[in-house]
Structure 1
Amino acid sequence: MTSAFFFNNIYYNTCTQQHFSIKALFDGNILSSVLNRLPPNAQVLDLGCGSGCWVMDMAIDYPHFQFIGVDMADMFPTAIRPENVKFQLQNILQGLPFPDNTFDFVHMRLLIIAFQKKDWPWVLSEIYRVLKPGGIVQLMESDFTEKTNVPIVEKFNNEFIKAMLDLEQDPWIGSKLSHLLEEQNFQVVELKEKYLDYKLPLNPISKEMLTNWKDAMLSIRPMLAHRFESADYNAVVDQYIDGITQAGWKVKLWALCGQKKE
């Protein structure tokens, strides 16, 4: 079994677990301010769609909408695909290959380690460009920077943050999204904040997301493993996950919608 196959399987499973956990946490795939602002035949773009779970789920719920999922990794479903869904291989940072004023709704979530800090304003400007006047963008990002009193959790999180900063990424991007949207001329129309509470006993959503977080940390081994010297990285991750529940760690998620001016 190749390392690429192992990574792809983790990535696919992580996307799937993540999707249904977030859907349960936020009581649906879209915030309440979105649907009443969309036309009955909405054109929808999902950026960084991964395995396509959000797109596929939405396409079944809204069969009169047309969906395009975009990702730089070809993890798209092939055997089963609703007729109102297309997928496209594309690196977002190379620009969105769509004309101005194409989409009614753009969805993008949990790309905190996909972009450098400098990329966020440009990506949001591209989203603004491809949205129709009055169109909506929905964003979601997390914050894993809350402090604990458990050494392994602090060590791992600090190394993760250092790695992100070395790559010129922004660990605190979630708290900045509202301001960034306003800078790109969006009107913020809804903001929701939710917490994943990892205090024992875990509720079903937190339990699923903790498994998802472990898989995510295993998938970024090249980014972190060398920071733990000669230690077995898998064992470090196991200790870290145990420490999270010991600490009763909380992770904050921001979900917000911005509307392009008419």
Structure 2
Amino acid sequence: MGGKPSKAVRYDGNPEAASTASQISSTTPTVTIDGRVYHSDELSSYCLPRDEEEQDRLNSQHFALKALFGSNTLSYVQENLTLEAKILDIGCGSGSWVMEMAIDHPHAHVTGIDMADMFPTMIRPENVKFELANVLNGIPYPDNTFDFVHMRLLIAAFREHEWPLVIAEIFRVLKPNGLVQLMESDFTVQRRQDPYIGSKLAKLLTNASFNIEMEDVRVLDYGDDENPVSREMLWNWKNAMHSLKPLLGHRVTQHPDQYDMVVDRFIQDCDRYHWYVKLWAYCGRKPNVA
């Protein structure tokens, strides 16, 4: 973890660049703080853990978002995804989205990439593949490889200047007429990240020459006791805030040992005063260029 700016590097055509998780996971840099395992990669600003507890949080987040939006993909994607589509999920985490897409689309070929190996190892559909890759080094696939690229809630993964580089890489690996779906929220911690990235997705896509086909914006009230998605996302936010103790502990209180208590009070206020989170989802299409 650190503050060095990163530089995206294009895929050089070498198939060895797309190494498997089993080949790289033992060398992925980590650091353990208060019993939690975190990334230790100076190229990345990502600050959440990469352990089993984080896998539980990511799985919770996946199912809550699926319930909130009614599906794993926007309706435009559902209506236009080809039968044998090649699908890429960037920052796939615990792999829940990848696994469900593979089951729902048994003739598709679904790949998940992430900088941390938290992938399912025992049970995988035959049409699933996971790879270790940090997209800030470039997406490790040739031009025009995928029919559909999915990426969501990486607000804490990229610094502000890195977003255009990542979107350009998505454009590169998509086939002409290929689709991209992005989803982001409107909060983050400050490590040169952009707290307003969700509202800027449309501009990022158009600047990268995508045509925007669909927009879906949702507002989730943390204090809505009757909404199970709200309760699940509030628990998720609480879990994430506790995970950020190594980064935020000395910033939010003069006594870092009181950080957990401060977070619990903050979460109570989110509930009591009906704080809300806004989520933007977009589907873009790469033009059918020669």
TM-score by length of 1: 0.89
In structure 2, distance between residues paired with 1:103 and 1:129: 10
Look up the match of 1:104.
147
**Does 2:284 match 1:241?**
no
Look up the match of 2:202.
178
Q: Which is helix-richer, 1 or 2?
A: 1
Look up the match of 1:217.
241
In structure 2, distance between residues paired with 1:80 and 1:178: 37
Q: In structure 1, which of residues 50, 70, 77 is the aligned counterpart of residue 113 of structure 2?
A: 70
**Correspondences of 1:136-151 after superposition (within 5 Å):** 136-144=179-187
Look up the match of 1:125.
168
Conserved in 1, the CA contact under 8 Å of 2:225 and 2:231? no
Q: Helix, strand or coil for the counterpart of 2:80? A: coil
Bigger Cα displacement from structure 2, 176-185 vs 7-16: 7-16
In structure 2, distance between residues paired with 1:63 and 1:210: 33
In structure 2, distance between residues paired with 1:95 and 1:102: 14
Q: In structure 1, which of residues 227, 230, 243 is the aligned counterpart of residue 255 of structure 2?
A: 230
TM-score by length of 2: 0.81
Q: 1:74 is aligned with what amino acid?
A: D
Look up the match of 1:151.
none
TM-superposed deviation, 1:7: 5.5
In structure 2, distance between residues paired with 1:202 and 1:114: 32
TM-superposed deviation, 1:116: 0.3
**Correspondences of 1:24-43 after superposition (within 5 Å):** 24-43=67-86
Between the two proteins, the alignment pairs up a number of residues equal to 243
**Does 2:251 match 1:208?**
no
In structure 2, distance between residues paired with 1:175 and 1:2: 35
In structure 2, distance between residues paired with 1:218 and 1:52: 22
How large is the Cα RMSD of the aligned pairs?
1.5
Q: 1:25 is aligned with what amino acid?
A: L
Structure 1 ranges of 4+ moved more than 4 A: none
Q: Helix, strand or coil for the counterpart of 2:160? A: coil
Conserved in 1, the CA contact under 8 Å of 2:50 and 2:116? no
Look up the match of 1:52.
95
* Structure 1 runs not aligned, ≥5 long: 145-160
Q: Helix, strand or coil for the counterpart of 1:36? A: helix
Conserved in 1, the CA contact under 8 Å of 2:115 and 2:132? yes
Flag the 1:200–1:107 CA change in 2: closer, same or farther, 3 A.
Answer: closer
Conserved in 1, the CA contact under 8 Å of 2:224 and 2:231? no
Q: Helix, strand or coil for the counterpart of 1:46? A: strand
TM-superposed deviation, 1:237: 1.0
Flag the 1:45–1:13 CA change in 2: closer, same or farther, 3 A.
Answer: same
**Does 2:56 match 1:13?**
yes
TM-superposed deviation, 1:221: 1.6
Conserved in 2, the CA contact under 8 Å of 1:10 and 1:219? no
In structure 2, distance between residues paired with 1:2 and 1:247: 33
Conserved in 1, the CA contact under 8 Å of 2:222 and 2:233? no
Flag the 1:250–1:77 CA change in 2: closer, same or farther, 3 A.
Answer: same
Identity of aligned residues (%): 53
**Correspondences of 1:249-260 after superposition (within 5 Å):** 249-260=275-286
In structure 2, distance between residues paired with 1:242 and 1:2: 25
Conserved in 2, the CA contact under 8 Å of 1:45 and 1:103? yes
Conserved in 2, the CA contact under 8 Å of 1:10 and 1:215? no
Conserved in 1, the CA contact under 8 Å of 2:50 and 2:118? no
Q: 1:51 is aligned with what amino acid?
A: S
Flag the 1:73–1:58 CA change in 2: closer, same or farther, 3 A.
Answer: same
TM-superposed deviation, 1:200: 4.2
TM-superposed deviation, 1:202: 4.1
Q: 1:135 is aligned with what amino acid?
A: G
TM-superposed deviation, 1:219: 1.6
In structure 2, distance between residues paired with 1:74 and 1:221: 22
Q: Helix, strand or coil for the counterpart of 2:200? A: helix
Flag the 1:29–1:210 CA change in 2: closer, same or farther, 3 A.
Answer: same
In structure 2, distance between residues paired with 1:202 and 1:241: 17
Relative contact order (C-alpha < 8 Å, sep 6+): which is higher?
1
